[in-house]
Homo-oligomer: A and B are copies of this chain.
């Protein structure tokens, strides 16, 4: 049931299963123009081929790296149109890397404060509450 037949037209569910995407997400990506619309069978069913699978895999993996759909759209344009895409792709990745690092820094700040308040709360039998007190104080960060 999972023999990798050399792709004689995948249905939507099969494409989703192979790439790990959600069934509805496949349709969504087509709607926003991230995946090309596949040919249809006589009865209107979508029929995907290996190129669709490859492209959807690209999108999925880019999403796993946190790229936005617009960034992925730009990357796919580079793949399709450019001969020397690496400079621009690298620029996009670098910019995204900066975003990721900024998010990590934000989350680490949250983590530190939360770790402290949880430690101060202890078993929760105190009459006051360090978390609530912190949130009512002028600055939540210590």
Q: Does A113 contact B (CB under 8 A)?
A: yes
By size class, the interface of chain A is 35 or more
Given that A121-B86, A125-B86 are contacting pairs, would A132 and B65 also be in contact in the complex, using a CB cutoff of 8 Å? no
Whether B135 pairs with A85 at a CB distance below 8 angstroms is no
Whole-angstrom CA separation of A88 from B96 in the bound complex: 38
Chain B positions within 8 Å of A87 at CB level: 121, 123-125
Given that A61-B140, A85-B129, A124-B88 are contacting pairs, would A93 and B118 also be in contact in the complex, using a CB cutoff of 8 Å? yes
Q: Does A64 contact B (CB under 8 A)?
A: yes
Nearest-neighbour CB distance to chain B for A13, whole angstroms, equals 21
Number of identical monomers bound together in the oligomeric complex = 2
Whether B100 pairs with A107 at a CB distance below 8 angstroms is yes
> CB-CB contacts of A97-119 with B at 8 A, as 1s and 0s?
10011011001101101110110
Whether A131 pairs with B100 at a CB distance below 8 angstroms is no
Q: Which of B93, B100, B126, B128 makes the CB contact (< 8 A) with A117? A: B93
Whether B100 pairs with A104 at a CB distance below 8 angstroms is no
Chain B positions within 8 Å of A121 at CB level: 86-87, 89-90, 93
Q: Does A17 contact B (CB under 8 A)?
A: no
Given that A84-B127, A104-B104, A111-B97 are contacting pairs, would A136 and B57 also be in contact in the complex, using a CB cutoff of 8 Å? yes
Chain B positions within 8 Å of A62 at CB level: 135, 140
